[in-house]
Amino acid sequence: MNRQIYQRLKQALSLNLRRQVFIAVCDNQQLRNSIVENLQADLTNTIDYTEQQENSNKHILFVTLNLNLSNPNPVTQINQWFAENPQFQKTEEYQILGFQIIGIENLTKQPSAVQWSFISNLKKIETNLSKLESSILLWITKPWLNTIKQSAPEFWNWHTGIFEFEGDPTPITPRQKKSSFPNKTNPLSFSPSITSSPSINTVRPLMALEQKSYTVESKNSQAYLLPPAPQKLPELPIHYSQHQENIPQPELELVELANLVWAEISRKSGEEKNSLEKQKFQILKEIQELNKSQYPSQELALAYKTLGDFHRDRVLTGEVSEQSLIIAIRAYEMVIEWTFQDTGNVSQFSSSKIPVLDILNDLATLYWMLSRQIKSSKSDSLVYLERSIILYQMAMGEITPSQKDTYARLQKNLGLAYGDLATHQEAQQNWERSIIAYQEAIFYLDKVADAQDYATTLNNLGTAYWNLAQHTQEVEHLQGAISAYAEAIDYFTPEIEPLNYGMIQNNLGIAYWNLAQFQTEASETLILKAIDAYLIALKYRTSENLPLAYAATKNNLATAYWHLANQFEEHQIRSRLFHEAIAAYSQALTIAQQFSPSQLTFDLLATYQNIGLAYYQIAIEINTTLDKDSQISNLEAALDYHLLAHSDRLQTNINEIQEEQASVNLNYIIRIIRTFYSKYGIQGQNLALSKIPSNLLPKILVML
């Protein structure tokens, strides 16, 4: 595929059209460098001018330039190259085919002013191209691609073509002085038997301190909890009027902001509405007056900051809506835009009045929140999330060596954002990046002064390890999860923080249970540790205070009992443990049936199926002491639960996974009917068949 893309790119450049803007996307720097070298070699002296005698002696050049990070303006840099190399302007001897610009990915490591200067220069593409005769090829990474789409729509509308090369991203190198990775061991393979093991039905570890929610910190260390997403607003790109070339004119942005503000005010009523109108009208009026100024001013940036702070503060009070998020985002982006309009003007802004670091952090957090609010479009959510990550990285470029607490906070936020990104793409790589970020945060957090943050970050680190274990090096990363969870527990007092304490105990149980599936020689010990952790968690996650969390932990406990039973040969012990599993599953079902399936963090149908499997195991044990009536009763119970699972599946939206589960469950039903026949003859078979629903009976008879 890369070869084909390369040929298309080379052909497009070989056309030698004037003022074309091409974009090449490649996340792997080694691959990028190889393609850059090949392009320069292949395109130099490749155009055949033999048909035009007067140009037959012309030398064709394709030039590679490394982006000047002190003044990141590709067109200016190209013009400067011509000034330094006047011999190449002799058209009778030389023809410049184009310029390829590399090194744009290094902007991420530069101060925010440099990055925003680059974006601002791209926005001026229409004016700048008039000063250039050659084509431009920009080499960028995928995160920068999305940033350019959103932040420089003027440039994006001018680009001629885009060429995306496939390759693993160049990995982030962790700091060598700190590592939370345990020693490597070779994981043992584990393949559960369909007929003897319940479905893996475990709730995932929680990354935050609340069920099904996450925390990202802003400058006052507040947590964000997201309500259901409201109706979606228009797309986010920012547009400016172009009637003055040297100064960005945010009149259109102001109109759009005003419309959004009035739309939000219209949703309020009574005294609250009047109060909002007065406050926001005053801010908008001030911005409108300041916009008449011919030069960037600190006052205008401060006015936009006031508007952004107003909506940010409303978000912190729990009023999270797309409207508030977008207004705050756009206002803060205007602060950054005016502050960094010209890198030479940055010194005129007081860092105490325009706290760039805090604004970048808050802007990143608002984008992160918006990515979670956008439920209707995964592509929009991904763009906002990637932009959040870039903004966090930009904020780090503003940190001084003394700001260790701020650095730790940003790394925590970055770890969480990478965890979200892992659910969209490149799961393994992004979970690895998440772990590195959390490790950095832990390294700089004070265990005493920041005990709460330290424990929360350890919990998130454990969950990142758990997720990474689902993709690679299971034993190593599950051990890392257990180590992080076990340390986090020491920082929570159950009497003071019972819910957090119970959550981490549940997470620890999950990690122990998972590890038992790979370390079979120690599986009994690990499962017992999982059961102990679940039982402790259930002291604090009760059916009264946290019913959904209680049901999830009960379901986990039942699965652990199920697997523990398979560690023993003695029937009485196995039977007792299977009964413990059934009791725990049943308690989970009792609570779960009070909620919709979308609210649950475990598969309700798999729980029905697992209860059926447990009853079946009790009934068929060799040398069983059960009498005939007890055996029949257990077989009937097994059949009843498998039929419940099958009927409920038929009532849900069937996808490929559910269809496969339904097929497996049907085989379980057939197996139970055959067991009835083998133990109790035709009378037993008829008893089993009498329970089969009429719509399912023809299919069952054919399979028998």
DSSP per residue over 199-249, as a string?
PP--PPPPSSSSTT------TT----------S---------B-SSSSS-B
- Give the residue among 644, 151, 181 at the shortest CA–CA distance from 431: 181
The single-letter DSSP state of residue 365 is: H
Which two three-digit tokens encode residue 426? 């490149």
Residue 431 backbone dihedrals phi, psi, to 5 degrees = -70, -35
CA dihedral 125, 131, 136, 138 (to 10 degrees): -40
- Give the residue among 367, 374, 299 at the shortest CA–CA distance from 333: 367
- Give the residue among 35, 26, 100, 22 at the shortest CA–CA distance from 61: 100
Tell me what pLDDT residue 272 has.
52
Tell me what pLDDT residue 7 has.
86
Structural contact between residues 477 and 513, judged by C-beta atoms closer than 8 angstroms: no
Which two three-digit tokens encode residue 599? 């609210």
pLDDT tens-digit series, residues 181-193 = 333 332 222 222 2
- Using the CB atoms, write b or e for 185-221: b if 16+ within 10 Å: eebeeeeeeeeebbbebbbebbbbbbbeebbbbbeee
Q: Which residues of the chain have pLDDT under 70?
A: 45-59, 89-94, 111-113, 130-131, 168-297, 340-353, 375-377, 622-626, 648-659
- Using the CB atoms, write b or e for 515-544: b if 16+ within 10 Å: bbbbbeeebeebbebbbebbebbbebbebe
pLDDT tens-digit series, residues 284-338 = 666 666 665 655 567 777 877 887 888 788 777 777 777 778 888 888 887 887 7
Q: How many CA atoms lie within 13 A of 414 on its CB side?
A: 26
User: Does pTM surpass 0.85?
Assistant: no
In the chain, what's the furthest Cα-to-Cα distance? 105
Give the H or E element holding residue 302: helix 298-316
DSSP 17-67: -TT-EEEEE-S-HHHHHHHHHHHHHHHTT-S--TTSGGGTTPEEEEEEEE-
Structural contact between residues 565 and 574, judged by C-beta atoms closer than 8 angstroms: yes
pLDDT tens-digit series, residues 625-664 = 667 888 889 999 999 998 988 776 545 444 555 667 778 8
Type of residue found at 562: W
Q: For residues 21 and 39, what is the distance between their CA atoms, to the nearest angstrom? A: 16
Q: List the Cα angle 259/261/266 in 5-degree steps.
A: 95
pLDDT tens-digit series, residues 41-68 = 888 765 444 444 444 445 677 889 999 8
Beta carbons within 10 angstroms of residue 92's beta carbon: 9
Alpha-carbon distances, residue 282 vs 279, 289, 299, 304, 325 (angstroms): 5, 11, 14, 12, 20
Residue 599 backbone dihedrals phi, psi, to 5 degrees = -85, -15
Type of residue found at 60: I
- What angle in degrees, to the nearest 10, is found between the helix axes of 404-422 and 451-469? 30
